[in-house]
Structure 1
Amino acid sequence: PGFLKRIELSGTQGSAIMEEEDLKAWCFKKELLEDRKIRKQFFSRTKSGGGASDPGAIDFRGHQYQFENMVEAIKNNNEPLVNGYEARKAVEIILGIYKSAREGKKVKLPL
């Protein structure tokens, strides 16, 4: 208890590190146009705790924002910021983490 949530992803083409809702590193061999936008949007965003020492402190606003954005996209007949295809990628990473923990070895994505 008491530690910040931290995810580190490293591969042959680069690395990304998240701590709570903050992007701490976003470094890749091949820089893409959207990388600067991603860094600007996600660096230093945390305004509340992640619940490591107090599960009641988990912030709901990230999920709230996703729901609000989806409703607006439906109302305006346009794409949400995170479409179904992109959301599936996040779910696959989570499933990969569970599989790796369960089997005690590295897994390759896509599963």
Structure 2
Amino acid sequence: MDFKEQLDADLAAVFLNVNEFAEPWTLTPPEGEPIMVNGIFDAAYQPSDPESSASVMGYGPALHVAESALPELPYDWRAVRAKNGQAYTVVEPKPDNQGMVVLRLREAS
């Protein structure tokens, strides 16, 4: 087993295991068949200035998935969380060059 194969196996066994950190998601391209992936969801974070309550920085929700689970980088794909059916649109996929891709999400209307 080469390094890449070992990395993929380790990611699947620990981080992307639904009995550990991950949960199932369905990703659907604008045209094509949906794929099932396990991913780690990171909810939106919007801190505020304690004195004024004004937003000072933040980021939207994100989904961390194995790069090997994706046939291509998912621009404008629909992402549905199996846990509650919440739907999102992938606005930006960001490979981390370590075998994972961070999918920046926007809540679907």
Higher helix share: 1
Structure number with greater Rg is: 1
Q: Which structure's relative contact order is higher, taking Cα pairs within 8 Å and 6+ residues apart?
A: 2
Higher strand share: 2
